[in-house]
Amino acid sequence: MRRSIPEGIYLIIDPSVSRNILLGKLKEVVLEPIAAVQIWDNFKADDNWMELVEEILQLCHAQNIPVLINNRWKVLAQLELDGIHFDDKPDQLTQLRQELNREIIIGITCGNDLSVVNWANDNGLDYVSFCSMFPSSTANSCELVTFDTVKKARSMTTMPLFLAGGIKPGNMETLSGLDYSGIAIVSGIMEADNPRLAIKKYQQNLKQKL
């Protein structure tokens, strides 16, 4: 069964973090309402990363939370992942869909280049994530996205739009003029001493918006 991405918090996790710490925090996180979990393409070279992905899948699927892999599309044929998030427009999208015998969720990162939104529309993607809305150490490869870009994108598509990069409960009010479906968070949750409390703080701000 395909798991769609609802509105809310889209959590991105860094698999290069100590496995015990990562899985320990994730066990707490999945007890809160999470729209989806994306596994960032930042695996350790010597790590048995497919085994780690299996453990993440078990934790998330037990709570019916969809799990997406970042960029590594060939893994979709080997693991019960719910979808994939691309950082850039892929050349192999047709091949990917032909090789899989199941529906998956497909999303893409977008900066200020709105041709990416047109491409996502034309190719039937499921969501677009804008990065980076604010300066961020975990999204340092992204350009800063203007609010005007997000507004223009909303007029171009009905697909869900997520906002990422440097978003904290304290600066979410500045996003209130934008029409978006949720926020993508990395360090704001996974580096918090109490990740469940961090989620609740984000949720309080989201409830005022969504």
Q: Per DSSP, which regions of 58-180 are E strands?
A: 67-70, 83-86, 105-110, 127-131, 161-164
Q: Give per-residue pLDDT as tens, 159-188.
A: 999 999 999 999 999 999 999 999 999 999
The pLDDT score that the predictor gives to residue 139 is 64
Q: Return the pLDDT at 142.
A: 85
| Structure confidence at residue 83 (pLDDT) | 97
- Do residues 66 and 5 make contact, with C-beta atoms less than 8 angstroms apart? yes
Domain extents in the chain: 8-209
pLDDT in tens, 108-166: 999 999 999 999 999 999 999 999 999 987 766 789 999 999 999 999 999 999 999 99
Residue listed under structure tokens 């409390």: 197
Closest CA to 60 of 40, 46, 87, 80: 80
* pLDDT digit string, tens, across residues 117-133: 999 999 999 999 999 99
Total-model pTM: 0.94
Report DSSP state, residue 124.
T
Span 64-101, pLDDT tens digits: 999 999 999 999 999 999 999 999 999 999 999 999 98
pLDDT of residue 210: 63
| pLDDT band of 44, cuts 50, 70, 90 | confident
Q: Could you count the other beta carbons within 10 Å of the beta carbon of residue 191?
A: 14
Q: What is the pLDDT of residue 136?
A: 81
In the prediction, which pLDDT does 23 show?
A: 97
Residue range 8-209 forms a domain whose CATH class is alpha beta
Q: What is the pLDDT of residue 124?
A: 95
Report the candidate in 129, 95, 91, 124 with the shortest Cα–Cα distance to residue 110: 129
DSSP 150-191: HHHHHHH--S-EEEESS--GGGGGGGTTS--SEEEESHHHHT
